[in-house]
């Protein structure tokens, strides 16, 4: 049974890079009918917060990365928060000390630096005398626990990278328990991975160099290490690690900017992985079917918001209008529309979305396009109204208004017949009349086809708007 995990530390919102790691784990688990575990690595007491944990869980849910075991739902290996597992780590640490595989270190950072000139720890405390220890104790020092690194080569057989060899001597004795009694990442991660029966560790390449440490700890407990797969990193446009400097880097920001979960899911999957047949747009199910960790690209990938945006526009088209309408509600509210007004106009909103959705790039585009249809008192863009307020324009509009008042039923085909006939009779260019009408009716120069637009507005509103536009002297 395949068991994988995603183990974020709750020190910020879900980062794009982490989301990709989570996604690959998720895809691998689902593809292999395995288990996807969510574990919270909150051993950094200073930076972790419940707030961030909630946020990360929320973002993962939004992305559709559902987990089978986790802090909120429990599971056979709970608890899934490291802070709730401290006793476990302490027991294992004690065991290592009693077996002579770990030892107390009393050095301060300054002392180590002084001795080694920033070359890292020199295993100084491996063989201290009882007197030395007594002295440190009397000084009130609190020791850390260090792992006694054995002299041997460590070989990582990585699913993505193949065999990677680390020679003996490239590692100093490293800290496994901090002086506050909390384990370091390297220690907790290993204990949890074997305790939780993790079979495959899929994570970023930044951990490749740390893997020898982890393997050594596994071995010190007589555990067989899981399979490792180190994926490429996610970089910004300048080829450095994706960070705040590059603009929006959290899943949350994209979500708030009107991106669809499907698009993010699909785009991220294509960062470092690709299908045999060049397909770009994938339903989630197909992505799960086709995904394979072996075929992941080894080189780092630059996160490209432009392609994400394109992909989002593709999903805006695919999604049923009713769904887009529902997802748009928060964006309409943010644009200033009352909840009650949105609800009342839901049918209209859906109709307009149906006509306009192939133009949308994100959900943020919806309010602007909806506006002329649910705003009672529209205003006319004064910069553009100039050319639509010429004497001829006013005359044409007055003439056509007379005819519009006669139209029955007020449907697009009837409207089109009548307006085209009007143009012919008056010998005016259809395009000009269309533009003029559109502007008088909506106040803007974009929108759905004129006749669809009028049908949705309805006869009463259409007439009222044209009359108001004609009377209005301000423009």
Partner RNA sequence: GCCCCCAUCGACUAGAGGCCCAGGUCACCACUCUUUCAAGGUGGUAGCGCCGGUUCGAUUCCGGCUGGGGGCGCCA
Interface positions, 191-210, toward RNA (CB under 7 A)? 205-210
CB closer to RNA out of 220 and 313: 313
Rg (CA), the chain: 32
Interface positions, 399-428, toward RNA (CB under 7 A)? 416
Shortest Å, Cβ 301 to RNA = 4
CB closer to RNA out of 29 and 311: 311
Task: Tell me if 13 sits within 8 A of 251, measured CB to CB.
Answer: yes
Interface positions, 73-102, toward RNA (CB under 7 A)? none
Task: Tell me if 25 sits within 8 A of 202, measured CB to CB.
Answer: yes
**Of 66-74, 104-112, 126-134, 465-473, which segment contacts RNA by CB under 7 A?**
104-112
Q: Does 148 bind RNA (CB under 7 A)?
A: no
Interface positions, 304-343, toward RNA (CB under 7 A)? 304, 306-307, 309-310, 313, 317
CB closer to RNA out of 207 and 459: 207
Shortest Å, Cβ 111 to RNA = 9
Q: 66: helix, coil or strand?
A: coil
Q: Which residues are annotated as a binding site for ATP?
A: 244
Shortest Å, Cβ 104 to RNA = 10
Task: Tell me if 146 sits within 8 A of 103, measured CB to CB.
Answer: yes
Q: Which residues are annotated as a binding site?
A: 244
Interface positions, 430-459, toward RNA (CB under 7 A)? 430-431, 434-435, 438, 445-451
Catalytic, 244? Answer yes
Tokens read off for 154: 């460590």
CB closer to RNA out of 241 and 364: 241
Q: Does 152 bind RNA (CB under 7 A)?
A: no
**Of 192-200, 298-306, 344-352, 394-402, which segment contacts RNA by CB under 7 A?**
298-306
Interface positions, 221-260, toward RNA (CB under 7 A)? 232-233, 235, 239-241
Shortest Å, Cβ 171 to RNA = 7
Interface residue with RNA, options 6, 26, 28, 121 (CB under 7 A): 121
Tokens read off for 414: 């009837």
Shortest Å, Cβ 167 to RNA = 6
**Of 115-123, 127-135, 244-252, 342-350, which segment contacts RNA by CB under 7 A?**
115-123
Other CB atoms within a 10 A radius of the CB of residue 165 amount to 9
Interface residue with RNA, options 128, 302, 329, 414 (CB under 7 A): 302
DSSP annotation string for 82-140: GGGGHHHHHHHHHHHHHTTSEEEE---HHHHHHHHTTS----GGGG--HHHHHHHHHTT
Q: Does 276 bind RNA (CB under 7 A)?
A: yes
Which H or E element spans position 222? none
Nearest-angstrom CA–CA distance, 243 and 249:
6
Distances (CA, A) of 19 to 109, 204, 211, 357, 462: 34, 11, 21, 27, 48
Give me the residues paired with residue 200 across strands. Answer: 227
Interface positions, 254-273, toward RNA (CB under 7 A)? 270-272
Burial of 256 (0-12, 13-18, 19+ CB in 10 A): middle
**Of 25-33, 40-48, 92-100, 340-348, which segment contacts RNA by CB under 7 A?**
40-48
Interface residue with RNA, options 132, 295, 386, 413 (CB under 7 A): 295
Residue among 137, 142, 152, 244 flagged as catalytic: 244
Phi, psi for residue 13 in degrees, rounded to 5:
-75, 165
DSSP annotation string for 304-331: -HHHHHHHHHHHHHHS-HHHHHHHHHHH
Torsion sign, CA atoms 299, 303, 306, 309: positive
Q: Which residues are catalytic?
A: 244
């Amino acid at each position: 049974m395949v068991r994988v995990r995603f183990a974020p530390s709750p020190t910020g919102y879900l980062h794009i890079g982490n989301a990709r790691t989570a996604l690959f784990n998720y895809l691998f688990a689902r593809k292999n009918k395995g288990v996807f575990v969510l574990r919270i690595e909150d051993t950094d007491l200073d930076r972790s917060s419940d707030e961030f944990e909630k946020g990360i869980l929320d973002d993962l849910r939004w992305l559709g990365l559902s987990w089978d075991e986790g802090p909120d739902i429990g599971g056979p290996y709970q608890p899934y928060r490291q802070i709730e597992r401290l006793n476990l780590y302490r027991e294992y640490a004690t065991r290592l000390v009693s077996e002579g595989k770990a030892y107390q270190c009393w050095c301060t950072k300054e002392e180590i630096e002084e001795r080694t000139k920033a070359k890292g720890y020199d295993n100084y405390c491996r063989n201290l005398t009882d007197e030395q220890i007594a002295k440190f104790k009397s000084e009130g020092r609190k020791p850390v626990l260090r792992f006694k690194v054995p002299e041997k080569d460590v070989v990582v057989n990585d699913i993505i990278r193949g065999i990677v060899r680390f020679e003996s001597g490239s590692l100093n004795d490293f800290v496994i328990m901090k002086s506050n009694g909390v384990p370091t990442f390297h220690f907790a991660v290993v204990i949890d991975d074997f305790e939780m029966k993790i079979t495959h560790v899929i994570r970023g390449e930044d951990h490749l160099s740390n893997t020898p440490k982890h393997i050594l700890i596994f071995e010190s407990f007589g555990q067989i290490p899981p399979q490792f797969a180190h994926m490429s990193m996610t970089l910004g446009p300048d080829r450095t690690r994706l960070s705040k400097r590059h603009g929006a880097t959290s899943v949350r920001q994209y979500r708030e900017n009107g991106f669809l979960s499907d698009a993010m899911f699909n785009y991220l999957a294509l960062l470092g992985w690709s299908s045999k047949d060049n397909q770009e747009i994938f339903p989630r199910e197909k992505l799960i079917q086709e995904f394979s960790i072996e075929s992941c690209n080894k080189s780092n990938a630059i996160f490209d918001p432009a392609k994400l945006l394109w992909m989002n526009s593709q999903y805006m088209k695919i999604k049923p209008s009713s769904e887009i309408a529902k997802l748009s509600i928060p964006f309409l509210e943010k644009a200033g529309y009352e909840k009650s007004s949105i609800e009342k106009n839901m049918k209209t909103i859906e109709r307009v979305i149906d006509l306009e959705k192939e133009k949308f790039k994100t959900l943020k585009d919806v309010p602007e396009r909806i506006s002329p249809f649910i705003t009672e008192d529209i205003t006319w863009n004064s910069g553009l109204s100039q050319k639509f307020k010429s004497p001829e324009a006013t005359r044409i509009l007055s003439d056509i208004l007379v005819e519009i008042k006669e139209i029955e039923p007020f449907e697009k085909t009837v409207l089109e017949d009548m307006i085209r006939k009007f143009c012919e009779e008056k010998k005016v260019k259809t395009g000009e009349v269309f533009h003029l009408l559109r502007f008088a009716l909506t106040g803007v120069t974009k929108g759905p086809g004129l006749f669809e637009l009028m049908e949705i507005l309805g006869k009463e509103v259409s007439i009222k708007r044209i009359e108001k536009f004609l009377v209005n002297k301000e423009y």
